[in-house]
Structure 1
Amino acid sequence: MPLLSLLLNALWLITGGIWMALGWLLAAVLMALSIIGLPWARSALTIAFYTLLPFGQTAVRRDEFRGREDMGTGALGFIGNVVWFVLAGWWLALGHLISAVGLAITIIGLPFAWAHLKLALLALWPVGTEIVPADDADRRRMPGRI
């Protein structure tokens, strides 16, 4: 992990990132306790780790990153996102939004507020996304790649 990402992740934990990661972990546990929520529990756990250390990683659409569709990027993914939104997405997004507003008040908090806003969008519609190192995502987006 580059030094800048390490520093930003350390500050992120202090400025509230740990609380939202715990919110995602709670969502994962609640999903795992119900039979209906089992398909979303692993994804919520993955995003909990991403929320804990977001700098140096990014969320990308799985079909664009891998170059092929799968169950989570088609019609079943859409249905999965609707169910996720109803069960957990809206309250996680609201938590990220409240955190972003609080952090945006200060100049120092602006990068962290921006990260919370990106996580709020991810919280609303996470099915079909994958968390990857930012360098990998940048390499895939470069023109002329093989």
Structure 2
Amino acid sequence: MKTLLNIIWLVFGGFWLALGYFAAGVICCLLIVTIPWGIASFRIAAYALWPFGQMVVDKPGGNGPFALLGNVIWLLVAGIWIAIGHVATAIAMAITIIGIPLAIANLKLIPVSLMPLGKQIVPTSTPFVSTYR
């Protein structure tokens, strides 16, 4: 079922969403100073491409003061706008019955798009997710 939902997701928005995150990652990496956000953007792009069967967790020891400061900067510069885009897209997807799981997946992307630093994406089948490395 996850594979079918991922294929439907890919066709109805996941590809474009991942492409947007990938483009943002390239721009951030070109600007040198923003490389941490670029790496986070690449991570989110992979998650946005194939979201079913994965989840976002905190990195062990990854929530230090620099991650907090970076997340606050990201939130003010880009995160809030990306989250608004996810909400708008989720509303549009939820109009149809088939789109409801896609809308939920879109809403699942909001926390990581708001505060991407100090997070990692792991398979949902991983037992003891908090110890995954």
Query: TM-score scaled to structure 1, two decimals?
Result: 0.82
- Structure 2 spans left out of the alignment, 5+ residues: none
Match of 2:91 among 80, 96, 101: 101
Aligned partner of residue 35 in structure 1, secondary structure: coil
Q: Which ranges in structure 1 are unaligned for 5 or more consecutive residues?
A: 64-68
Which one has a bigger Cα radius of gyration? 1
Q: 1:140 aligns with which of 122, 128, 133?
A: 128
Q: Is the 8 A contact 2:122 2:129 kept in 1?
A: no
2:23 matched to 1:55?
no
How far off its partner does 1:141 sit? 5.7
Q: Which has the higher helix share?
A: 1
Q: Does 1:89 align with 2:79?
A: yes
Equivalents in 2 of 1:29, 1:141: separation in Å? Answer: 29
2:119 aligns to what?
Answer: 129
Residue 140 of structure 1 aligns with an amino acid whose one-letter code is F
2:21 to 24, 34, 47: 24
Which residue type is aligned with residue 50 of structure 1? Answer: Y
Identity of aligned residues (%): 44
What does residue range 60-75 of structure 1 map to in structure 2 within 5 Å? 60-63=57-60, 69=61, 72-75=62-65
Query: Against the structure 1 CA distance between its residues 141 and 120, is the aligned structure 2 distance closer, same or farther, given a 3 Å change threshold?
Result: closer
Residue 9 of structure 1 corresponds to which residue in structure 2?
6
Distance 1:122 1:97 in 2: 13
Say which SS state the counterpart of residue 73 (structure 1) adopts: coil
Q: Distance in 2 between matches of 1:130 and 1:108?
A: 28
Secondary structure at 1:131 match in 2: strand
* CA-CA distance at 1:94 after TM superposition: 2.1
2:35 paired with 1:38: yes
TM-score normalised according to structure 2 size = 0.90
Give 1:121's aligned amino acid: P
Counterpart-to-counterpart distance in 2, 1:101 and 1:26: 24
- Cα 1:110/1:18, change in 2 over 3 Å: same
